[in-house]
Amino acid sequence: MTFEWRMSLAFAVALCGAMIAQVMESRAQDTVAATDEEKPYKIAEDGTTDWPTFSGFRRYNSICHTCHGPDGVGSTFAPALTESLKRLNYEQFTEIVVNGKQEVNTAVQKKMPAFGTDPNVMCYLDDIYAYLKARSDGAVGRGRPDKHADKPPEAAEAENACMGN
């Protein structure tokens, strides 16, 4: 093998190595992103919930519970959202809450109202999703969470901006 040959071979090997490293790195990032997407809530080992999950608990149990039952367990009228969120992703969940959903045939007339223009729902949609996902995964039990993180200043700011205060 000539000197030039060996050099280009060494270069090719180095290039391959760099490419493999890059692919592996982007795979690792994908994994992290996927895990984040699956878990919009954070529950500490001692059971302390993060603020969004606690906020979602309060919002859910002041607006959605009238039809979907306390703590997302469902009622004779509307489905258990703890079950629904095993199937629906964030986009699907959002689409239904914004636009509503209706099942009408001769036997049933069930209507999920559209909340797209209701700031009391829209400004807390991510919180409600976090809470219901935590309930659906069994990370949060029924009733009011015992301990929760304080409301961070960013959450208060975002809330004021969203509610137009």
Give the residue, chosen from 84, 131, 135, 140, that forms a contact with ligand HEC under the rule CB under 6 A.
Answer: 84
Minimum CB distance to ligand HEC smaller for 1 or for 107: 107
Tokens found for residue 37: 């997407």
- 3-state secondary structure (DSSP) of residue 140: coil
Give the DSSP per-residue string, 78-105: S--HHHHTTT--HHHHHHHHHH-EEEES
What is the rounded CA–CA span in Å between residue 114 and residue 53?
22
- Identify the CA nearest to 93 among candidates 45, 138, 60: 60
CB 79 within 8 A of CB 68: yes
The residue type at 27:
R
Minimum CB distance to ligand HEC smaller for 96 or for 155: 96
CB 110 within 8 A of CB 78: yes
Residue 134 in contact with ligand HEC, rule: CB under 6 A = no
Q: Which stretch binds ligand HEC (CB under 6 A): 10-18, 30-38, 76-84, 155-163?
A: 76-84
Minimum CB distance to ligand HEC smaller for 48 or for 114: 114
Residue 93 in contact with ligand HEC, rule: CB under 6 A = yes
- 3-state secondary structure (DSSP) of residue 39: coil
Give the residue, chosen from 97, 130, 134, 140, that forms a contact with ligand HEC under the rule CB under 6 A.
Answer: 97
Residue 73 in contact with ligand HEC, rule: CB under 6 A = no
Q: Which stretch binds ligand HEC (CB under 6 A): 2-10, 12-20, 23-31, 96-104?
A: 96-104
Residue 77 in contact with ligand HEC, rule: CB under 6 A = yes
In the complex, which residues of this chain contact ligand HEC (CB under 6 A)? 63-64, 66-68, 77-79, 81, 84, 88, 93, 96-97, 101-103, 110-113, 115, 121, 128
